[in-house]
Structure 1
């Protein structure tokens, strides 16, 4: 019996009434076809037929009939919705091959390429977000980092989100109040990069759905409020061979870890458009708000771009602090992995680690000033060379248009608008980032 049919039978037996087949668009946003469970049976075998011309950049109207194959290993029951529906991820096909415009395909191919080079990559993500009311938004609580007093308007939301992270299949997670008022962080456990990217999307859907029940919004907009910390999506990466973590050591980073750090730093500017992909992303990347502005690394230093976590014990991974939660996790993760792999394979040497606060360092590379600059810097990186070229071309074109739309709508240059959050950004990103 086909594996997909076994999954369908399990879902039906568990009382699932609807299947939401997920197609990931070029921005990393979920598009779904909602199918009653009995009708969904055929899709688990034959795939989901859909109009590709209506998904941004996927296809043209004259070549719009596409099929998405079901991934039977990527199924999440919407326990926050009473368990009556399930999210099932798909991969769009181009005939019998992976479609080049599907970012989920791009990440799968990246992981397979890393495996062909003799490595396994594991990846985890710390996803920050705000709970807000209205648009323009207002804060839900005035809590601080690791807030211990009960927050009546936000804690029930957070506790329910945590419950469903486990019940839906993502796994056990820890959370805490972050530095800014109304800001929280959830950890997606480390694992296969495609699985983690799927779980980032499931978490966003989950968080937004639970928040709506309480009359608030869970927003993954990188910088919803000027003058306080924005939200990052810190990505933790390790490379393995024959079951051994090549980044694991005591006190001193391994040669492989340092080489990976060097690769990530070398590609940081070209990868910025993939990991910090919105106009609003660059209002987060400003000094003294725990977001990186200098392309440097350090051990236990949260002001740098690449941090090696070290709590007086074992080193086992790198933490890339450049990304934010508006990123398409499939493209962002692929770009990070390719950069790290380039460093390892070329045995690159990073500069000396930075021990001081990095924000005021001079004579080092800095993050792009804005999205327009990030688009221009993207052409020389490992990701733009290795990812499917039609996908890269379409993505950069859409990001260039996004930048132009911002300038046209705001009616003033970046120099006059970089230090305020505009209504254009709230309309564009607050609910859908």
Structure 2
């Protein structure tokens, strides 16, 4: 028994934890769990040693019924109590990796996919740090079942216009109990929209945190009597919710994206990494903006990226370079939204960036104008292309990109494409109220 496992067992006993949720995610990033009752101390020891068998055929994107047995093995580093559950419930949580009965990592486990990419990086002596900014709406429903935002606040507003102050304070306090380090919280641009920004951390820990963050926020706000949605574009005519991802590579304590002697403070590694993300941005869109609704956010006029370009401080570009330098030097990739599976999104972004490093992909010159105001002729002159404008375009781009498909592995890329094609087909045959209003008189 390792020291980490021993410490977890001691904490479970001290906090009188009686039920452990063994948590994992499906291909979409939706949390799943099995609750285990702890009758005696050796029960948790057995869990760490042997894991727990479960039926993988019942989880979308996992395995067929004839190969259903899979094993959950908890990661002791991920233990935490659940602050949104009553203290007397004695509930805790462990995030699990998934294995086959033969003891091999399961190829359909999103967490294992990210760990595989990070292992390649670790062999080079590097680490990959990410600080995501997931936005979300606090909403309610009227008597007819229609959703509406809980306030009419705007960017950085305060009470009484901002009705989310108490929610965010409760969220921050509960998330800190889970070990989160949050840089700040505030009302976002749209009515009812909020943001809590994560501190930079290693990618696996951050991906775990995003899943816990989304789960915790939904539970905490539900306890208060409202709902939270991470839907990218819940309301027509308002800004959608993104999850901008600040990222950099480190070697020990050295930020490899920093070069104080360069004109813009960015190293050649940072430039090549950006070049990789720009090159693979069409296929990446399918992973980081994975729903039909995602592309209703990615339109001009709502602070969402549309164009394949980067800029220093430029929020109209796909990649922005924040002003911080030194250890804070980073790139901000603005396409992701909070509906994505963070394990797959981070793995795909990393592999795209590494392709840029390995093949010295030049991102070109920065774009330092409001790209939304450029004409088609200007865009052509500057060689600025568009990212996909629909899920259909995005998943077709993914089909043609061996680097991003390789990041996911054969199992997940095949299952993911199958599910996205089905999602698009389901969407395209719907008839919406807008169409009836516009065309019923024909």
Per-residue deviation at 1:150? 3.9
**What 5-or-longer segments of structure 1 have no aligned partner?**
420-433
Alignment of 1:9-408 (within 5 A): 9-38=10-39, 41=44, 42-83=46-87, 84-94=90-100, 95-134=102-141, 135-151=145-161, 153-250=163-260, 251-310=264-323, 316-361=329-374, 362-363=379-380, 364-381=384-401, 382-408=403-429
Change (3 A) 1:182 1:71: same
RMSD, aligned α-carbons: 2.1
Does the 8 A contact of 1:237 with 1:318 survive in 2? yes
Measure the CA separation in 2 of the matches of 1:302 and 1:383.
Answer: 25
Measure the CA separation in 2 of the matches of 1:296 and 1:351.
Answer: 9
Per-residue deviation at 1:171? 2.4
Does the 8 A contact of 2:272 with 2:360 survive in 1? yes
Per-residue deviation at 1:304? 0.7
Per-residue deviation at 1:202? 0.5
Measure the CA separation in 2 of the matches of 1:403 and 1:369.
Answer: 13
Change (3 A) 1:38 1:6: farther
The Cα offsets for residues 252-284 of structure 1, whole Å up to 9 and x where unpaired, read as 321111111111100100111100000000000
Change (3 A) 1:96 1:241: same
Measure the CA separation in 2 of the matches of 1:183 and 1:5.
Answer: 42
Measure the CA separation in 1 of the matches of 2:405 and 2:435.
Answer: 31
- TM-score w.r.t. the length of structure 2 is 0.89
Measure the CA separation in 1 of the matches of 2:252 and 2:10.
Answer: 36
**How many aligned positions are there?**
416
Larger mean CA deviation between 81-90 and 278-287 belongs to: 81-90
The Cα offsets for residues 60-87 of structure 1, whole Å up to 9 and x where unpaired, read as 1111111111111112321122443222
Does the 8 A contact of 1:79 with 1:168 survive in 2? yes
Does the 8 A contact of 2:258 with 2:325 survive in 1? no
Does the 8 A contact of 1:232 with 1:323 survive in 2? yes
Per-residue deviation at 1:315? 6.0
Does the 8 A contact of 1:253 with 1:315 survive in 2? no
The Cα offsets for residues 103-139 of structure 1, whole Å up to 9 and x where unpaired, read as 0000011111122234221111111000001253101
Look up the SS of the partner of 1:326 in the other structure: coil
Measure the CA separation in 2 of the matches of 1:314 and 1:174.
Answer: 19
Does the 8 A contact of 2:182 with 2:196 survive in 1? no
Does the 8 A contact of 1:166 with 1:173 survive in 2? no
**What 5-or-longer segments of structure 2 have no aligned partner?**
none
Per-residue deviation at 1:403? 0.8
Does the 8 A contact of 1:249 with 1:315 survive in 2? no
Per-residue deviation at 1:193? 0.8
Measure the CA separation in 2 of the matches of 1:234 and 1:326.
Answer: 12
Per-residue deviation at 1:174? 1.1
Larger mean CA deviation between 107-116 and 277-286 belongs to: 107-116
Per-residue deviation at 1:331? 0.4
Does the 8 A contact of 2:154 with 2:162 survive in 1? no
Measure the CA separation in 1 of the matches of 2:426 and 2:104.
Answer: 35
